[in-house]
Structure 1
Amino acid sequence: MTRASHQDRPDHSPPSTPQHMHRRSVLAGMSALFLGACSKIADSNAGSSVLTAAQKWHQAAHRTLTGRHALAKEYNRADVSPFFRGNGSTDPQNGNYPAQAAANFADWRLEVRGLVDKPLSLSLDNIRRLPQRTQITRHDCVEGWSAIGEWTGPQLSVLLDAAGLREEAKYIVFRCADNLNGQDYYESVDMMDAFHPQTIVAHALNGDPLPIRNGAPLRMRIERQLGYKHAKYLTAIDAVASLDDIAGGKGGYWEDRAGYQWYAGI
């Protein structure tokens, strides 16, 4: 059965208040402190249980404190950082990515597949022709730095609605072209974040096509989550019922390898 609208899809809400931004800063700091200890305790069964309980508390607290449908703060163009640094992969050399980059991504395709009724294969031109959202937001990295950038792209919800999301789909998995330490990068979100109005498939930064260091030609922007959730070099979007059988089963590259929280809300 095609899902015309998901029960967790939020309505547009007014911009975040200063109180919301104070809460965002507090939660960002808590997330960074928590993640700093993740790799030290995640290897034991007891440590894994502690992390699971902490993540569930964090997810519930974040959505209670900020509101399920609250928007991350959006800034003015005067606030845009003069340089938006890259992090993690900044120039993938695996697979056909170098050839795609040399050809200015003329043949790049984004697949929307999995638990959908109408799988999609979209060119960059297809994506640019969809209704667009532009938002100026702050990127918060778990390493402690932040930057403000203007991002443009269609809302993820537009793609999911066009593909006909099935009722049994519970998560959205983002597949990426970059490979780190022998594993392709991937990330995932639940349907609340997938249908959040600020979750977009970005193809432009500050009015220009994405630079390679920032994830060209496509990357996710999931504005209420820490930076490692914003998957770069996007090749496919999979709708799935469970994360258990995907890679290490924890929902993301760093979650599998270093015990990072799957829910990284700020």
Structure 2
Amino acid sequence: MTFSITRRGLLIGSAAGLGAFGLTGCDDVVQNPNVQSVLDMAETLTMKSQRLLVPKDKLAREYSEADISPTFRPNGTSQPDSEAYAQMMATGFADWRLKIDGLVERPVELSLADLKKLPSRTQITRHDCVEGWSAIGKWTGAQLGPLLQSVGLKPQARYAVFYCADQLELTLDGSGTYYESIDLIDAFHPQTILAYQMNGKDLEVAHGAPLRLRVERQLGYKHAKYLMRIEMKDSFAGLWGGKGGFWEDRGYEWYAGI
């Protein structure tokens, strides 16, 4: 739809324009008030437009095997720089567990094997980075919505918050740890999956092994990698900068729909 095209062009144009302020790419902080004003307007317009005009279960475009990109750049971190992650990687993530807690009736911890036993979805979709590049990949994983239903969401749950293994800044309060969040509309979208395979193979470390989020109707920085925990919350209160994500706390917009 027209507003989606305009949205993507606006975001990419804003990111490209950051160079004028000494800021470029996904790993930079949007601090200039003029840039922030543009992004805030785009976020408000797009979220209202998409939620009003687009059915909540409408799928992002899916592609054929022939469309898969020959190269797919890693977005964000290429490997978490922590001893704990290195130890998990050395054992093929045999000891890794995904914790799901917060506003749920039945908190759980799931191994990679547990997740692979769940009904899976495979989708070939385009990844759009705010830096301006795109690539098409094939993703397989467990659908998030049914998994959340299985743990029993409490009535006040509104957001799924994803905590990751990578820390982009060394901070005592943990605010340098990568995290992201989505609301229940996106959490229960059919294409929102916890992906453990890319292009028919287990995820490589650079692409988020052992598990990453795929939320196909949003830009790449929302697709959190190296997942460790999902917490169901009613608000972002008490979450570091209070904006619902690592980059959002530093000026990016929370709703990155395309």
Structure 1 runs of 4+ aligned residues shifted over 6 Å read none
Residue of structure 1 equivalent to 2:118: 130
1:153-192 to structure 2, matched below 5 A, reads: 153-182=141-170, 183-192=176-185
Residue 31 of structure 1 and its aligned partner are, at CA, apart by 2.6
Does residue 40 in structure 1 map to residue 32 in structure 2?
yes
Residue 55 of structure 1 and its aligned partner are, at CA, apart by 2.4
Which 5+ residue runs of structure 2 have no aligned equivalent?
19-29, 171-175
Does residue 101 in structure 1 map to residue 89 in structure 2?
yes
Contact 2:75 2:220 survives alignment (8 Å): no
User: Secondary structure of the equivalent of 1:58?
Assistant: helix
2:128 aligned to 140, 145, 151, which one? 140
Matches of 2:34 and 2:83, distance apart in 1: 32
Matches of 1:64 and 1:226, distance apart in 2: 19
1:1-266 to structure 2, matched below 5 A, reads: 20=1, 23-34=3-14, 38-41=30-33, 52=40, 54-182=42-170, 183-257=176-250, 259-266=251-258
1:26 partner letter:
T
Matches of 2:64 and 2:5, distance apart in 1: 19
Structure 1 length-normalised TM: 0.85
Structure 2 length-normalised TM: 0.88
2:108 partner letter:
L
Contact 2:138 2:200 survives alignment (8 Å): yes
User: Secondary structure of the equivalent of 2:32?
Assistant: helix
- For residues 188-230 of structure 1, the C-alpha deviation after alignment (integer angstroms, 9 at most, x for no partner) is 0011001000000000000100010000000000000000000
Question: Relative to structure 1, is the Cα distance of residues 219 and 42 closer, same or farther in structure 2, using a 3 angstrom cutoff?
Answer: farther
Which 5+ residue runs of structure 1 have no aligned equivalent?
1-19
Give the fraction of aligned pairs with identical amino acids, expressed as a percent: 52
Residue of structure 1 equivalent to 2:23: none
- What is the root-mean-square deviation in Å for CA atoms of aligned residues? 1.9
- For residues 153-182 of structure 1, the C-alpha deviation after alignment (integer angstroms, 9 at most, x for no partner) is 010012101110111001110000000012
Range that drifts further, 220-229 or 153-162: 153-162
Residue of structure 1 equivalent to 2:22: none
- For residues 55-114 of structure 1, the C-alpha deviation after alignment (integer angstroms, 9 at most, x for no partner) is 222211233344332110000001001121112210112140011111111111001100
Equivalenced residue count is 241
